[in-house]
Structure 1
Amino acid sequence: MNTDENIQTQPETWQPKKKSPFKRLLILALLIAGVLGILYAYQLPPFSPNYIETNNAYVRGKPVVVSPKVAGYVQKIMVQDYEWVEMGQPLVQIETDQYEMKVSQAKAGVLAQETSLQKIKQAQTSAVANVAVMDANIASARASLDNARVAYARMAELIKIDAVSRQAYDDASTNVKKAESALAQALAQKKNAEQEIGNVVVNEKSNLVAIDNAKAGLALAELELSYTTIKAPVSGRLGEITAKEGQLVAVGTNLMSVVPPEHWLIANVKETQIGQIAIGQPAQITVDALGGKQVLTGKVVQIAPATGSEFSANKTDPSTGNFIKVAQRVPVKIAFDDNQPNVKEISMGMSAVVKIEKIAK
């Protein structure tokens, strides 16, 4: 058979083989699945979760610094690192010698002032008695003056009839003047005695103030002596003890810290998400230290009034020209729900992952 005959046997028109509708649907399904996978991976609608998640969260607490209120040498440390202590439990003992001497000195000062008060009271009694004596002297002087005046009046009548001598008359006149002078002297002495009573009263008041001052000094000395035994301000677990026996410590020296068992969580949420959070919203907490398997629950109790950078010591200044926009974080305080035994196992500073339920729209 020749070539021309082969050509004549082929069809006059050629068309490509049609694709199967099943394959088209398969390709379309794969494309849709890929888009949905991308949306799901980036948590975009319609796969946006109903919660806000952040791993920028840390356990916080309120450690209490233990510091001495008086200076001195550390005599004894009565606890160990990380030990549980109760409120009021002795922790550190500072040497008491100088403070015991201050107490003794203050007691002696109180005793001295009280002794002075007794002397003043005796002086007051004596002054009152002296006034009574002056009253008696005044009464005697008045009687003497009255007698002298009667005698002078009688002499004045007798001298008129030359019944007495001139000398007797002059003596009677002199006796009146002496009696008047004695009365004036007695009155002046009584006034001085009364003034002495006033002085004694003033001295008594001054001494009472001195006694109160001495007693206050004694109370202060006893208070400082009590401060030599440093006690736990709250119940909790100790941190690392930085004090050493024999160390000279000043007032306010950080000896150790007590961490109470109360904990909460600070979750730093992006500023773009903070509008979806409100106080009272429930939260799920996964603490890294617990293996990430035990989920704790809590509630939002507070939202910071500013971003975390505003509370930083080194704030960024966008006005310098070197500006890179970064989503800021707003601290959100989350309180753990009650009756969760696992909360006792966590410590301050631990990391966590938090899921906060969004506000219902």
Structure 2
Amino acid sequence: MRKLILRSVVSLAALAAVSGGWYWWQTARFIESTDNAYVEGDISIISPRIEGYVATVAVGDNQAIRAGDVLITIEDSDFRAKVAQSEANVAGAEASLATIDSQITYQNARIAQMVAAQGSAGAELNRAKQMYDRYKKLVSGKIIGTQEMDDATADKLKAEAESSRINAELVAERAQIGVLNANRAEAVAKLAEAKAALMLAQNDLEKTVIRAPIDGVIGNRAVRVGQFVSPGTQLLSLVPNDVHVVANFKETQIGHMQPGQKVKVEIDAYPGQELTGTIDSFSPASGAEFSLLPAENATGNFTKIVQRVPVRIALPENSPLHGLLRPGLSVEVAVDTGSVAAPTLAQAGGWLFGAANAAPKAKQPE
């Protein structure tokens, strides 16, 4: 009986060892796990773009909102006054431009009138010259007296003077057109400036209403009615419903990881609920490099410490926990590195430091 029991125990132990070895060879050796993982989300910090006093706060703590919903309004009386002032400036600039256009139209009519007068003066000058030449011949032949010759000479001089006067006025009127065109260009520029000021005033007025940029839940609400706020003031946080997991794996664990591999995700807040995610991307540097005081290993006090690399894990949108997960929750993850073929060394370097490898190299001098 003892021999039989001993044989049974040995057989069971051997079977367990073989089964365990088979499981390790087929599955366990491809699993990389860590409990240094957390739920994260792209939290939006809501801040005003103008300064003023808060008129209303339309949301409360932990309230779910949709993109485009009104969150906060700022007193807008001053901004409405600036819009009205800018509209008046635009109207004044448009009136000035219309006045100059009317002056240009009138000036063109004046030029046309002077051109007609120039033709009339030229005809009169031509007639006076012909009379002068005719009387000059008659005087030389002693057919008429000097009185008629004096009248012809006076008419000729008068016609020449009138023609010169009209020509000078025509030059002046045409020069005035140039002045009016310059004034019009200035008026057009002032109108454009007034319209730009009006647009800025309208933009500032629109900024008095702060709307939600995304769907999410209100958190960390620090704004209150009557509070004076300025650009950059943190009013509240908007936590999105779409979250992901960031797992900090040891540098010795990421050698066989690559995007697309399956990840088993267990959230401490929901025991028994297991999600299946996928590796989305790798951080371009270890967590220590992004710390406030990065380690300086060239000081002579070097102690080798295993570094951790943040790995982003995407969660399925149709999971039963969608909308329930909150950034900051603790997570345990296990990556099945056998679900996708292990990457080559060049591929791993590209995934881990893709941003650096993608940067164009400077051309070496010949």
The Cα offsets for residues 77-131 of structure 1, whole Å up to 9 and x where unpaired, read as 1110111111111111101011001001001001101111221122112111211
Does 2:272 correspond to 1:293? yes
Instruction: Quote the Cα distance in structure 2 between the aligned partners of 1:177 and 1:276.
Output: 110
**Percent of aligned pairs with the same residue?**
35
Greater CA drift, 223-232 or 133-142: 133-142
Does 2:127 correspond to 1:147? yes
Correspondences of 1:243-254 after superposition (within 5 Å):
243-254=223-234
Length-normalised TM-score, structure 2: 0.83
Letter in 2 for 1:344: G
**Greater radius of gyration (CA):** 1
Kindly state the Cα deviation for residue 265 of structure 1 after the two structures are TM-superposed. Answer: 0.5
The Cα offsets for residues 216-238 of structure 1, whole Å up to 9 and x where unpaired, read as 21111111101101111111111
Provide the secondary structure at the position in 2 that maps to 1:319.
Answer: coil
Does 2:60 correspond to 1:80? yes
Letter in 1 for 2:207: Y
Q: Name the structure 2 match of 1:203.
A: 183
Length-normalised TM-score, structure 1: 0.84
Letter in 1 for 2:329: M
Instruction: Quote the Cα distance in structure 2 between the aligned partners of 1:133 and 1:278.
Output: 86
Task: Tell me: CA distance 1:168–1:46, structure 2 relative to 1, closer, same or farther (3 Å).
Answer: closer
Provide the secondary structure at the position in 2 that maps to 1:354.
Answer: strand
Kindly state the Cα deviation for residue 303 of structure 1 after the two structures are TM-superposed. Answer: 1.8
For residue 338 of structure 1, the aligned residue among 290, 293, 317 is 317
Q: Name the structure 2 match of 1:16.
A: none
Does 2:98 correspond to 1:98? no
Correspondences of 1:1-361 after superposition (within 5 Å):
49-290=29-270, 292-359=271-338
Provide the secondary structure at the position in 2 that maps to 1:242.
Answer: coil
Instruction: Quote the Cα distance in structure 2 between the aligned partners of 1:48 and 1:114.
Output: 79
Letter in 1 for 2:156: V
Task: Tell me: CA distance 1:47–1:102, structure 2 relative to 1, closer, same or farther (3 Å).
Answer: closer
Contact 2:242 2:322 in 1 (8 A): no
Provide the secondary structure at the position in 2 that maps to 1:175.
Answer: helix
Provide the secondary structure at the position in 1 that maps to 2:132.
Answer: helix
Instruction: Quote the Cα distance in structure 2 between the aligned partners of 1:281 and 1:293.
Output: 22
Kindly state the Cα deviation for residue 49 of structure 1 after the two structures are TM-superposed. Answer: 4.6
Greater CA drift, 248-257 or 131-140: 131-140
Contact 2:241 2:322 in 1 (8 A): no
Instruction: Quote the Cα distance in structure 2 between the aligned partners of 1:302 and 1:241.
Output: 32
Instruction: Quote the Cα distance in structure 2 between the aligned partners of 1:314 and 1:289.
Output: 32
Which structure 2 residue ranges, 5 or more long, are not aligned? 343-366
Letter in 2 for 1:358: T
Contact 2:267 2:332 in 1 (8 A): yes
Kindly state the Cα deviation for residue 198 of structure 1 after the two structures are TM-superposed. Answer: 2.7
Task: Tell me: CA distance 1:201–1:47, structure 2 relative to 1, closer, same or farther (3 Å).
Answer: closer
Instruction: Quote the Cα distance in structure 2 between the aligned partners of 1:338 and 1:129.
Output: 75
The Cα offsets for residues 274-307 of structure 1, whole Å up to 9 and x where unpaired, read as 11322211111111111x3211111111122321
How many positions carry a matched residue from both structures? 328
Instruction: Quote the Cα distance in structure 1 between the aligned partners of 2:203 and 2:317.
Output: 40
Instruction: Quote the Cα distance in structure 2 between the aligned partners of 1:235 and 1:72.
Output: 26
Instruction: Quote the Cα distance in structure 2 between the aligned partners of 1:304 and 1:121.
Output: 64
Instruction: Quote the Cα distance in structure 1 between the aligned partners of 2:310 and 2:79.
Output: 47
Instruction: Quote the Cα distance in structure 1 between the aligned partners of 2:80 and 2:27.
Output: 74
Instruction: Quote the Cα distance in structure 1 between the aligned partners of 2:131 and 2:298.
Output: 115
Instruction: Quote the Cα distance in structure 2 between the aligned partners of 1:135 and 1:47.
Output: 102
Provide the secondary structure at the position in 2 that maps to 1:234.
Answer: coil
Letter in 1 for 2:334: K
Which structure 1 residue ranges, 5 or more long, are not aligned? 1-20
Task: Tell me: CA distance 1:168–1:102, structure 2 relative to 1, closer, same or farther (3 Å).
Answer: same
Task: Tell me: CA distance 1:356–1:145, structure 2 relative to 1, closer, same or farther (3 Å).
Answer: same
Give RMSD over aligned pairs: 2.5
